[in-house]
Amino acid sequence: MTRGRGIGALRRGAARLTGRAISLFARLVTAVQAVWQGLDPDADPAGRRPRVYFANHASHGDFILVSSALPPRLRDRTRPVAGADYWGGGGLRGFIGGDVFNALLIDRQRSDPGSDPVALMAGALDQGASLILFPEGTRNLTDEALLPFRSGLYHLAAARPEVDLVPVWIENLNRVLPKGSFIPVPLMCRTIFGAPLHLAQGEAKDAFLARAQGALLALRPNPENGR
């Protein structure tokens, strides 16, 4: 009993240290700067109102960067939504996804029809957590700025219409760690937080998803060269 508790405490301590180390490393490589456009970071300093941060997804480091850019109090309540196929299971990835970042793991293949990702996310919001969500569903390895959004963001917005949906543009991380490379190169990155949106009364799925994509794309500083 005590031994189990001791190991649990050890694991939690290791997770906390690892989290600090990962965040420090991310800052050393990217000097990440949070830019707030249309959202006051101090409006809800304790993070009492759950939010959904939805961002572009080009690299495995994306949620680390968004999380590192948040003020510490908000960061502690924010859980990335991640694919169980990659971040689940045991080993190092499981430790980083589960213990360090407390990721909400969802089954992207829907192999078990009983597990409903939207219900899982809504449940986490109900418990007071904020979420980091990548509505493209998978890493964007193309030259397009964004892949078409999957419908998850719409269903979540319909299930919890009062929750703020905050667009977050992650700038440059795809250059730091491009497709197929495993050594990051140090380049400055920014995470740009935009004004929150909500599902309008009677808004159709496609219209809402197009609006959400537009809001995210509008945060790009230099659309013409991808920077």
Partner 1 sequence: MIAPHSDLLAVIAGIGAVLLLASAIGWVLQRRLSPNGENAAIENLNARIRAWWIMVIAMSLAFLGGRTGVLLLFAFCSFAALREFMTLTNATRADHWTLVGAFFVVLPVQYYLIWIGWYGLFSIFIPVWVFLLLPIVSAMRGETRNYLVRVAEMQWALMICVFCASHVPALLNLNIPGFEGRNVLLIAFLVVVVQLSDVLQYVWGKLIGRHRIAPKLSPSKTVEGFVGGSLSATLIAAGLWWMTPFSPLEAGLMGLVITMMGFFGGLVMSAIKRDRGVKDWGHSIAGHGGFIDRLDSVVFSAPIFFHLTRYFWSMG
Q: Tell me whether residue 115 or residue 181 sits nearer to partner 1 (CB atom).
A: 181
| Cα–Cα dist 215/196, whole Å | 9
Binds partner 1 by CB under 8 A, chosen from 31, 43, 200, 210: 31
- x/- map, 144-183, partner 1, by CB under 8 A: ----------------------------x-xx--xx-x-x
Q: Verify binding: residue 46, partner 1, rule CB under 8 A.
A: no
Q: Tell me whether residue 148 or residue 186 sits nearer to partner 1 (CB atom).
A: 186
Task: Give me the residue label for tokens 């990835």.
Answer: 93
What's the gap between Cα 89 and its chain centre? 19
Binds partner 1 by CB under 8 A, chosen from 10, 20, 24, 33: 33
Q: What is the largest CA-CA distance in the chain?
A: 60
Contact 184, 29 (CB under 8 A): yes
Closest CB 64 distance from partner 1, rounded Å: 18
Paired tokens of 113 = 């029809």
Binds partner 1 by CB under 8 A, chosen from 71, 89, 123, 186: 186
Alpha helix locations (H) across 144-203? 152-159, 173-176
Contact 58, 181 (CB under 8 A): no
Q: Verify binding: residue 11, partner 1, rule CB under 8 A.
A: no
Binds partner 1 by CB under 8 A, chosen from 43, 188, 204, 207: 188
Q: Tell me if residue 132 falls in helix, strand or coil.
A: strand
Contact 199, 161 (CB under 8 A): yes
* Interface of this chain with partner 1, residues 197 to 226, rule: CB under 8 A: 222, 225
**Summary count for the chain: helices (H), strands (E):** 9, 7
Binds partner 1 by CB under 8 A, chosen from 10, 24, 43, 185: 185
Q: Tell me whether residue 2 or residue 222 sits nearer to partner 1 (CB atom).
A: 222
- x/- map, 99-138, partner 1, by CB under 8 A: ----------------------------------------
Contact 169, 55 (CB under 8 A): yes
CB atoms inside a 10 Å sphere around CB 50: 20
Chain contacts with partner 1 (rule: CB under 8 A): 31, 33, 172, 174-175, 178-179, 181, 183, 185-188, 222, 225
